[in-house]
Chain A
Amino acid sequence: MSILPQLAFVLILGVAGFILAKRIQFLRRNILLGKAETRNDQPENRWKAMLLVALGQQKMFKRLVPAFLHGLIYVGFLVINLEILEFVLDGILGTHRLFAPVLGGLYTVAINVFEFLAVAVLVSCVAFLVRRNVMKVERFTKPELKGWAALDANLILVIEIILMFAILTMNATDQILASRGDAHYLVLGPLFFSSFLQPLFEGFSTGALVAIERFAWWFHIAGILAFAVYVTYSKHLHIFLAFPNTWYSNLKPKGEMVNMPEVTQEVNMMLGIPVENPSAPPAEIGRFGAKDINDLSWVNVLNAYSCTECGRCTSECPANITGKKLSPRKIMMDVRDRAEEVGKSLDTGGPGLADGKSLLGDYISKEEINACTSCNACVEACPINIDPLSIILQMRRYVAMEESGTPAQWNAMFQNMETSFSPWKFSPSDRFNWADKLKEEEIK
């Protein structure tokens, strides 16, 4: 028997592995363009968040229909990929269905389970294509999903459908060949789902069937490897990044804004409060708030790469619902697109962050961030705990503190607070007047 297919297989595996490693390095570097932040506290709660939210899909169940369909694809992905191990070993060793003799009757059961899941994935992907392209579910028709984002989503679904067909075709032809007594193929127990495809192939010659079976086998394994590479260019990265993303969730109350200690020192000095280490040189303050991705935390950039653009955030955003430009999903897509742009520039010897562009201004407008009510609906809605609000608030800090560019009405509010300690223009001496009437009222 020729060793050529084995060599070809090892070569494909090696090339895919090499490209993947390069891509992972690229993504890791891009994510770490964000500022350092340590988020390792409460490890037990972090594992719990990861188990419940990523592995357990807890937050998906806020919407039952997509949760069910997504659940089928998710379980299918996890379980069918177990078969990859056999594929890889068969490919390297030149064997066929290596595990069949070892597992005996269990092997048939396993393959039937895989086939069931393959059909379930197939049906779910078709349903998702219908939701996007026929039913036009509103959150999939927003402006930020035009072009590549829409194509990317459809490509993923179509690729998954084709890969599932490859499994079923492979099993159907494989079993016809086995029943014809071809020594290379093993007769398994009845395979429920692929048996429906068998009538399509029964008229074929043995040679043609071997060709189809081999093609389906190669197509499936090469397809999976190609898909793995494709995922690194796609919103589909969530299948891996959802796990670290939920581990690094914000575990504080959602209403809490992160303190800026560099400001506290200055405020204490202005108010005449003793400062620890007053003679120490002031800590180097790069920039107040965030103008570009390197001002954000690396967790914000990880969030952006983990986003699969489902748009649950945007569909719950009060500003977006009422027609404002703000879309939390677009904020996440913009952060990722800017990180990609800077990363590519750096890799080609370009200026990287110093390209004269920035996240705020070239990607995200002030009109968008000003429309946010900080209501946390987007944060609550995200199935993998992405926090668009954190990014919006950091950009507002930049606009207020570095540019003094907040809307005039906010500047007026600032002024009121500075002069009368209230956002409204009332005299501080009138603050306690509300009690006057009460002090004259008799207790009933």
Chain B
Amino acid sequence: MSTYQVPTMAEMAANSQTPEVLFWVGCAGSFDDRYKAVTQAFVKILTKVGVSFAVLGPEEACTGDPARRAGNEFLFQMQAVANIQVMNGYEVKKVVTACPHCFNTIKNEYPALGGNYEVIHHSEFLQQLINEGKVALQGGGEFKGKKITFHDSCYLGRANEVYEAPREVIKALDVELVEMKRCRTKGLCCGAGGAQMFKEPEAGKKDINIERTEEALATGAQAIAVGCPFCLTMMTDGIKNKNKEAEVQVYDLAEMIAKDMGI
């Protein structure tokens, strides 16, 4: 029996190999204890399906998204230009990432700085794998027949108009997908975008993630599916705040697929 391999671009280049796709892990996927599980789940899926991939490993750095949204254009561009130099050095063509913020920045904002890649979010990547029959879902497992709601991430949904791919992935699990009142183009933010993840909210009557969690709980769903590390944190905190962690779980799409595949 062999163990999982996580090749880096540097290792591949040393062996004169070029992977089909660069998996951009992102800071949350690298450092956040909860989101590391998502990164690992996605690597397992890629391995199981036999996708040729590599990561940047220690050579990856923040895309600069939160700095840019907080107004610090210098810092954003320092990060972006350095990342682009690394990626262009490896002649990266295609990038997949589990973070909508990284996805948006690399896809839409790196071209102006000389970084041109085909960038896809892992929800789209998973949907393609399912459609191509490469991911063999058991259609059973722990999610079968359960009510699941999907929380649209702003940077996936409104920012880039990816609404259906994550839903298709969830539906493939033979579950009952229930929608929140505010969904798709009207989806309510979890409260973390625009660098809000990194500071306390301004004074108000409620935290945004609580408002959204209440809406998710109102659907009666047993699990909330997300496709973004910040949303995962915000919704998990919201569920804890409501003392519902025993009844309602928050999962990333990749985790759900990996669980169903038994990996």
Which A residues have a C-beta under 8 Å from some C-beta of B? 62, 252-257, 259-261, 263-264, 266-268, 270-271, 273, 288-289, 316, 318-319, 321-326, 367, 370-377, 379-380, 393, 396-401, 406-407, 409-410, 412-414, 417-418, 421-424, 426, 428-435, 437-444
Q: 3 closest pairs, A vs B, by CB?
A: A255-B159, A400-B71, A374-B194
Beyond known contacts A417-B62, A417-B75, A429-B58: 13 more, CB 8 A cutoff: A253-B107, A256-B104, A256-B108, A267-B78, A371-B204, A373-B193, A377-B189, A393-B69, A431-B58, A431-B60, A434-B30, A434-B36, A443-B4
User: Are A417 and B192 in contact (CB-based, < 8 A)?
Assistant: no
A-B contact pairs, 19 of them (CB 8 A): A255-B158, A266-B74, A271-B78, A318-B211, A321-B188, A322-B201, A322-B206, A324-B202, A373-B189, A396-B71, A414-B67, A414-B75, A417-B66, A423-B67, A426-B30, A433-B30, A438-B3, A439-B6, A443-B48
Check B13 for interface membership: any CB of A closer than 8 A.
no
User: Are A424 and B195 in contact (CB-based, < 8 A)?
Assistant: no
B185 closest partner in A (C-beta): A380
- Most chain B CB within 10 A, of A322, A424, A440, is at A322
Cβ contacts B29-43/A at 8 Å (1 or 0 each): 111100010011001
The docked-state distance in angstroms from the alpha carbon of A413 to that of B79 is 13
User: Chain B residues near A322 (CB, 8 Å)?
Assistant: 191, 201, 204-208, 210-211
The docked-state distance in angstroms from the alpha carbon of A256 to that of B203 is 28
The docked-state distance in angstroms from the alpha carbon of A424 to that of B199 is 12
Check B155 for interface membership: any CB of A closer than 8 A.
yes
| CB < 8 Å neighbour of B262 from A319, A396, A401, A444 | A444
User: Chain B residues near A414 (CB, 8 Å)?
Assistant: 67, 70, 72, 75
Check B246 for interface membership: any CB of A closer than 8 A.
no
The smallest beta-carbon distance between A68 and chain B, in angstroms, is: 19
User: Are B198 and A413 in contact (CB-based, < 8 A)?
Assistant: yes
Check B112 for interface membership: any CB of A closer than 8 A.
yes
Check B260 for interface membership: any CB of A closer than 8 A.
no
User: Chain A residues near B39 (CB, 8 Å)?
Assistant: 434
User: Chain B residues near A372 (CB, 8 Å)?
Assistant: 194
User: Are A443 and B70 in contact (CB-based, < 8 A)?
Assistant: no
Check B57 for interface membership: any CB of A closer than 8 A.
yes
User: Are A401 and B69 in contact (CB-based, < 8 A)?
Assistant: no
- Most chain A CB within 10 A, of B29, B55, B198, B205, is at B198
Cβ contacts B218-236/A at 8 Å (1 or 0 each): 0000000000000000000
User: Are A421 and B61 in contact (CB-based, < 8 A)?
Assistant: yes
User: Are B77 and A264 in contact (CB-based, < 8 A)?
Assistant: yes
User: Are A401 and B189 in contact (CB-based, < 8 A)?
Assistant: no
Check B217 for interface membership: any CB of A closer than 8 A.
no
The smallest beta-carbon distance between A214 and chain B, in angstroms, is: 52
User: Are B70 and A413 in contact (CB-based, < 8 A)?
Assistant: yes
Check B19 for interface membership: any CB of A closer than 8 A.
no
The docked-state distance in angstroms from the alpha carbon of A288 to that of B72 is 10
- Most chain B CB within 10 A, of A263, A266, A399, A442, is at A263
- Most chain A CB within 10 A, of B43, B55, B77, B185, is at B77
| CB < 8 Å neighbour of A443 from B47, B69, B205 | B47
- Most chain B CB within 10 A, of A257, A409, A439, is at A257
User: Are B205 and A323 in contact (CB-based, < 8 A)?
Assistant: yes
B68 closest partner in A (C-beta): A257
The smallest beta-carbon distance between A60 and chain B, in angstroms, is: 14
Check B81 for interface membership: any CB of A closer than 8 A.
yes
User: Are B204 and A319 in contact (CB-based, < 8 A)?
Assistant: yes
The smallest beta-carbon distance between A309 and chain B, in angstroms, is: 21
Cβ contacts B224-263/A at 8 Å (1 or 0 each): 0000000000000000000000000000000000000011
User: Chain B residues near A418 (CB, 8 Å)?
Assistant: 75, 78
User: Are A431 and B57 in contact (CB-based, < 8 A)?
Assistant: yes
Check B25 for interface membership: any CB of A closer than 8 A.
yes
User: Are A318 and B2 in contact (CB-based, < 8 A)?
Assistant: no
User: Are B113 and A264 in contact (CB-based, < 8 A)?
Assistant: yes
User: Chain B residues near A374 (CB, 8 Å)?
Assistant: 69, 154, 193-195
User: Are B208 and A257 in contact (CB-based, < 8 A)?
Assistant: no
User: Are B72 and A406 in contact (CB-based, < 8 A)?
Assistant: yes
User: Chain A residues near B25 (CB, 8 Å)?
Assistant: 434
The docked-state distance in angstroms from the alpha carbon of A428 to that of B161 is 33
